[in-house]
Amino acid sequence: MDRRERIGKTPARLDFLQSFTGIALALFISFHLLFESSILISKEAMYTLTQFFEGYYFFGQKYPLIISALAAFILLLIVVHASVALRKFPASYRQYRAFKTHMTRMNHHDTSLWAIQVSTGFAMFFLASIHLYTMITLPDQIGPYASSERIALDMMWPMYLLLLFAVVVHAGIGVYRLILKWGFFEPKNPKALHTRRALLRSIMYFVITFYLVLGVASLGRYMVIGYSGEFAPGERYHPQGAAQ
């Protein structure tokens, strides 16, 4: 047994950490996209949610720093998740080529899904950083007008659109793969493993589609508000009849 170097606890911990940060980020994004779609209900609904997250209903005053802190924490989670997930990336052109050849040859659904996850993950190194840096530095500029201005007039929408696709696809495939990897929702009868996997995959595609439609619709709504000219640059939204 002692022919090789002793294996410490680290590999087990890294593997756990990758899944743990992954599921935490997936949970975060699933709520984030829901909250952010409140603009589809009304500007007031989105405004109310913004105030809620800035702590207005707890402290009677807005603290945008809460948003900064949350964004910084999410960035930290992403850094941890990315650094452990990097272990799985192809580390050389030879490895990249070997995998690509194998994937094309096999024409196997779950093998190809992984390639999508690697590419979307890689894209988010850049896309998520841009978004989170804005949220950390300008936390007070979230709201029906402020967000619309950033998305439409400040030309952030192409970045948000790319980020939306990357994050929804990555999280959807990620959670599906995590379920298989750890053996959650496994059928008692091993013969049913294949049909269960097909079912999980259908659910995954449904959830991905749902969030993509929701995200694109919200993004579209912010753009309509942004280009409508109903507010002046820098102007903040206030619900009608509310105190300034």
Partner 1 sequence: MSEGRTLHVHILRFDPHLKDDKPRIETFELREAPGMTLYIALNDIRKYLDNSLKFDFVCRAGICGSCAMLINGRPGLACRTLTSKLDAHISLAPLPVFELIGDLSVHTGNWMRGMSERLETWIHTQKAPDIDRMEERMEPELAEAIYELDRCIECGCCIAGCGTIQMRESFVGAVGLNKIARYRLDPRDERSDAQLYQLIGDEDGVFGCMSLLGCADVCPKELPLQSQIAYLRRKMVQIGK
Binding site for partner 1 (CB under 8 A): 1, 4, 6-7, 9-16, 87-88, 90-91, 95, 98-99, 101-108, 110-111, 114, 177, 180-183, 186, 190-191, 193-194, 197
* Least distance between partner 1 and beta carbon 38 (Å): 35
* Least distance between partner 1 and beta carbon 193 (Å): 5
* Least distance between partner 1 and beta carbon 165 (Å): 22
C-alpha span between 218 and 209 (Å, rounded): 14
When the beta carbons of 117 and 148 are compared against partner 1, the nearer one is: 117
Cα separations (Å) of 116 from 12, 32, 177, 221? 25, 22, 12, 28
When the beta carbons of 17 and 136 are compared against partner 1, the nearer one is: 17
C-alpha span between 214 and 36 (Å, rounded): 9
The first and second tokens of residue 233, run together, are: 């640059």
Indicate the DSSP class of residue 2.
Answer: T
What 3-state class would DSSP assign to 214? helix
When the beta carbons of 11 and 154 are compared against partner 1, the nearer one is: 11
Are 75 and 83 in contact by the 8 Å Cβ rule? The answer is: no
When the beta carbons of 59 and 182 are compared against partner 1, the nearer one is: 182
Indicate the DSSP class of residue 13.
Answer: H
